[in-house]
Amino acid sequence: MDAPRSAAIENLMDERRTFVPDPAFVARANATADLYAEAERDYVAFWERLARERISWSKPFETTLEWDLPFAKWFVGGELNVAYNCLDRHVEAGRGDKVAYHWVGEPGETRSLTYADLLREVGKAANALRELGVEKGDRVAIYMPMIPELPIAMLACARIGAPHTVVFGGFSAEALSGRINDCGAKVLITADGGYRRGKEVGLKHHADEAMASTPTIEHAIVVNRLGHGVHMVPFRDHWWHDLVGRQSADCPPVAVDSEHMLYLLYTSGTTAKPKGILHTTAGYLLGTSFTHEMIFDLKPDDVYWCAADIGWVTGHSYIVYGPLANGATGVMYEGAPDTPSWDRWWQIVEDYKVSILYMAPTAIRAFMKQGPQYPAAHDLSSLRVLGSVGEPINPEAWLWYHEHVGRGAAPIVDTWWQTETGMILISPLPGVTTTKPGSATFPFPGIKADVVDADGVSVPLGGGGYLVLKQPWPAMLRGIYGDQERYRETYWSRFPGMYFAGDGAKRDEEGYYWLLGRVDDVMNVAGHRISTTEVESALVDHRSVAEAAVVGVKDEVSGQAIYAFVILKASGEPSDALAVQLREHVAYVIGPIARPKYLMFVPDLPKTRSGKIMRRLLRDIAEGRTLGDTTTLADATVVDTIRENSGSAEE
Ligand code: WT7
């Protein structure tokens, strides 16, 4: 049975520290509080104004929104080209010499591409796709390392109206072929390989294995990154440098409808078949570029670095489309944060004078674990805005980021969104919002969010429940490719008329949103619905703890009991006494009901390749089950190490 109305999820943590915007920042901030008021008056008119001001249209739109729940059409009747908006218009305005990307390869080589360079390369790549018979509407799969040819390939597709589907380079041949077959892609763009943790990582053999079972693929284009040759299938496979190299740079952008499919990005549920999340053109471009400019306070001379992989939506929206539409200068890094040593990122920040840095809490906690000496050894004074995305950020990780990376000065934007939402939906606006460590603060202007109970009734401030969205937004997914019934069922059926994100959230008395993790992860201890996020944050609050993951395990008395997996900082020593201390610490911070019954020290945690903790695996380990599907796991050895130790968790 569901818990009583006010306690869909309990509100346990009480974080009271606040950070008021610095007046000097406020004076120059892109965003102002007026945006909230304007959007509140009429959200459709708000997005209409922005779409007319910010997008270069080949044909202006007639109707701003057609909303036939759950199907939205934005900027109906308009025509545009995304590559034109990201490249040509900047070059035409005389900004062709501005750097679009500073690229850093893991082994140390660098390349800087200006907007004029990028326009030329995109034109050539687009003509290459044309030569292979790719036409408007044909799908193109992309499976590449983090090299400049990856955004070039995406923009080349956009230039000719061919939707792309980028498959993260760390995925298997099977994952690749499944996605190619789901969307029926005609061409695959890949590379011989890339570098990761000082090693060469081959891609072409995975691509070959995948292409053995993808009947729709007619051609592959292969970037020569590693340079020592791979097997090429005659007539099917083409080297990028040959095929693209011989093309003309002149490729007129194809104007497409506002609702033309820009791309598909597959989200891997842990069990079910991956969903092809469908994004379209105009609304997506507007949503990503406007949020990027406001939330990161982007100025013309900023150097912006989003340290995600382009294989995830974060990279699509905030390395490629949003920043390029805004004419930003970005940094792209190919490799791992610890190669050759744990100060690689700080070296890059120093070298390129990065002013805006956007990364995931999992990376922040990994840096925390290594200690502040790494960022301290570098000049990070260029940093002026910091962002976080991907998971709830624990207050302690937030404070560490603030102090050791932001030197106590740079505002932090904790940005909540999803592959499905396309753009950031809940986030502070720097220079406007007073922040609280661990809170994503408020819905972005024009976004109507709510926290509801099991019956879909809004939970009063101070309570927790299910996060929902109550009106459409321009960058929202338009469906699941090939399965609109699944789209309705997955996102719109739990609470009629509302988009349910799958996340738990609470609002404090001042209306700040606090994300509580996926509702599937919520634990039920003696009838109390307790968020894993809150218990994890209480653990990370202890000075010895770098990272924690908690799960609910079956318990005869309380239904579920809390089992905590804890990674200590480099300075910490595991001991029974410390385990007792940590359990008491949780009881002290959020109350005895949340005291973990079991606690185990681990060297690492099983995570997905995008850095999310796989609690399902931890539950299996804790309950002594054989493990289910582990294909989305980034490092399989972690599970064995944890399992070997799991006898020793003591109550
Ligand atoms: C899920 C979406 C959004 C790009 C990367 C992930 C979690 C994301 C936050 C945040 C708390 C967050 C949610 C969400 N999430 N950002 N700032 N605070 N949780 O995209 O793989 O589609 O994952 O990530 O659980 O539903 P994704």
Maximum mean pLDDT: which of 338-347, 536-545, 570-579? 338-347
Q: List the CATH number of the domain containing 637.
A: 3.30.300.30
How confident is the model over 412-440, as a mean pLDDT? 98
Nearest CA owner, ligand 1 atom 20: 418
Let me know if residue 625 belongs to a domain.
Answer: yes
Let me know if residue 586 belongs to a domain.
Answer: yes
Mean pLDDT of the chain: 93
Specify the pLDDT at position 630: 59
What confidence tens digit (pLDDT) does each residue in 187-206 have? 999 999 999 999 999 999 99
Nearest CA owner, ligand 1 atom 19: 391
Let me know if residue 570 belongs to a domain.
Answer: yes
Distance 66 CA to ligand 1 centre (A): 27
Specify the pLDDT at position 16: 80
Asked if pLDDT for residue 646 goes beyond 80, the answer is no
Let me know if residue 331 belongs to a domain.
Answer: no
Mutate to test the pocket of ligand 1, among 442, 503, 519, 632 (most ligand atoms within 8 A of CB): 503
Number of domains in the chain: 1
Let me know if residue 283 belongs to a domain.
Answer: no
Specify the pLDDT at position 520: 84
pTM value is 0.91
Answer yes or no: are the C-beta atoms of 185 and 220 closer than 8 Å: no
Nearest one of 82, 81, 154, 206 to 310, comparing CA atoms: 154
pLDDT-derived band at 558, boundaries 50, 70, 90: confident
Distance 418 CA to ligand 1 centre (A): 5
Let me know if residue 383 belongs to a domain.
Answer: no
Q: Which atom, in ligand 1's list, is nearest to the CA of 501?
A: 26
Let me know if residue 349 belongs to a domain.
Answer: no
* Pocket residues: Cβ below 6 A from ligand 1: 267, 312-314, 389-392, 414-419, 440, 501-503, 515, 518, 610
* 633: containing domain: 522-648
What confidence tens digit (pLDDT) does each residue in 370-420 have? 999 999 999 999 999 999 999 999 999 999 999 999 999 999 999 999 999
Phi and psi for 392 in degrees, rounded to 5? -65, 135
Q: Which atom, in ligand 1's list, is nearest to the CA of 610?
A: 21
Residue/partner pairs of 567-574 with CB below 8 Å, 24 or more apart = 567/369, 567/601, 567/602, 567/603, 567/604, 567/605, 568/544, 568/601, 569/368, 569/369, 569/371, 569/543, 569/544, 569/545, 570/369, 570/370, 570/371, 570/546, 571/371, 571/544, 572/544, 572/545, 572/546, 574/601
Distance 127 CA to ligand 1 centre (A): 36
Nearest CA owner, ligand 1 atom 14: 418
Asked if pLDDT for residue 2 goes beyond 70, the answer is no
Distance 274 CA to ligand 1 centre (A): 17
- Gap between the Cα atoms of 645 and 186, Å rounded: 48
Region for 474 from its dihedrals, namely left if φ exceeds 0, alpha if ψ lies in -120 to 50, beta otherwise: alpha
What percent of the chain clears pLDDT 70, i.e. is strictly above it?
Answer: 95
How confident is the model over 298-324, as a mean pLDDT? 97
Specify the pLDDT at position 6: 43
Nearest one of 550, 554, 553 to 538, comparing CA atoms: 550
Q: Which atom, in ligand 1's list, is nearest to the CA of 317?
A: 4
Specify the pLDDT at position 649: 52
How confident is the model over 352-365, as a mean pLDDT? 96
Specify the pLDDT at position 623: 87
Phi and psi for 154 in degrees, rounded to 5? -60, -45
How confident is the model over 454-475, as a mean pLDDT? 95
Let me know if residue 245 belongs to a domain.
Answer: no
Lowest average pLDDT, out of 48-57, 114-123, 359-368, goes to: 359-368
Specify the pLDDT at position 611: 81
